[in-house]
Amino acid sequence: MLVNNKHYRTVWLEKSAIKMINQPLLPHKFEIYSSKSYKETANAIRTMIVRGAGAIGATAGFAMAQAVLEANEKNYKNKIKDALKTIKSTRITAQNLFYAVDRVYSLVKDEKNLKTAGKIAVDTANAIADEDADACKKIGEFGEILISDNDSILTHCNAGWLAFVDYGSALSPVYTAAKNKKKVFVYVDETRPRCQGAKLTSWELLNEKIPHAVIADNAAGFYMQQGKINIVITGADRIAANGDTANKIGTYEKAVLAKENNIPFYIAAPTSTIDVKTKTGRDIPIEERSEDEVLYMPGVDDKGRKTRVRIAPRQSRAKNPAFDVTPAKYIKGIITEKGIIKADEESISGLF
């Protein structure tokens, strides 16, 4: 997608270094972060220099390739096993991460020739990234038919191209609709505590020149009651076999509100986000992040330097689940690269 009228992907491989947009610096500064080892890349995933389902998956695939390239004949098997464990521990809810590292690892774990293993790993990681971008483009093409001219769309968190290799999931139908000359408006949930809607989704929409407004998470119900929102589209970090979906904390609330106000609620995600081994949402592991994300508000000072201020009493503690699970009964449909399906076990199993 576009940054100052230039096309970028969120993450890519240059020789043995992984290049990624440094997302915590946005929207105030655009910078490319370079990671030169798999451990550095794993830390970039953990600290959310790169974040979002598909972008995490692609980066994890590249990290696994880095581990293969770093190995030697004596430590090869142990090196890539350690890498597999380390990368998987970074973000436990994100299915795309597990999909990518398992796919690369399975193809190289028994390879005897290191040069061959390196080529297989790099080619596979690049293929995962390309497939992610292509899937998101198709999600836009399928999802665009759900959006009418002059519609207002609510989205939660950031499921645009920054969350994937390109195009995005929840925002891909919006981008496609705009390119097809439909007039659209996007209500952007902020989304606390990391404010990825306010920081990232709004920044994307500005670059794409799409009208929008950032709203407090708690304001979504107000605009639904006012008849200002026609459709809700969010992304997903993991979809269970029965259609239950884990996404950024607060998504469940939006789904319930949409149901109450007779507004269609859709999930947009590539099939790599679906985990058929996880039967229901109750089985999805939920990442608990640092309480500091809730207790402090990050920003920049007048000189553009990163800073943060505490917004709660110093004696107060916080709870910070990163995701919640929306039961399938609240989901009108799931927009995938293979089409729009119902959020049920039969429809999901038919994709594979």
Catalytic residues: 237
Distance between CA atoms of 132 and 129, rounded to whole angstroms?
5
CA neighbours within 13 Å on the CB side: how many for 136?
Answer: 32
Report how far Cα 258 is from the mean position of its chain's Cα atoms.
22
Candidates 194, 253, 222; CA nearest to 48 is 194
Distance between CA atoms of 295 and 54, rounded to whole angstroms?
28
For residues 132 and 270, the answer to whether their CB atoms sit within 8 Å is yes
For residues 235 and 163, the answer to whether their CB atoms sit within 8 Å is yes
For residues 235 and 247, the answer to whether their CB atoms sit within 8 Å is yes
For residues 16 and 1, the answer to whether their CB atoms sit within 8 Å is no
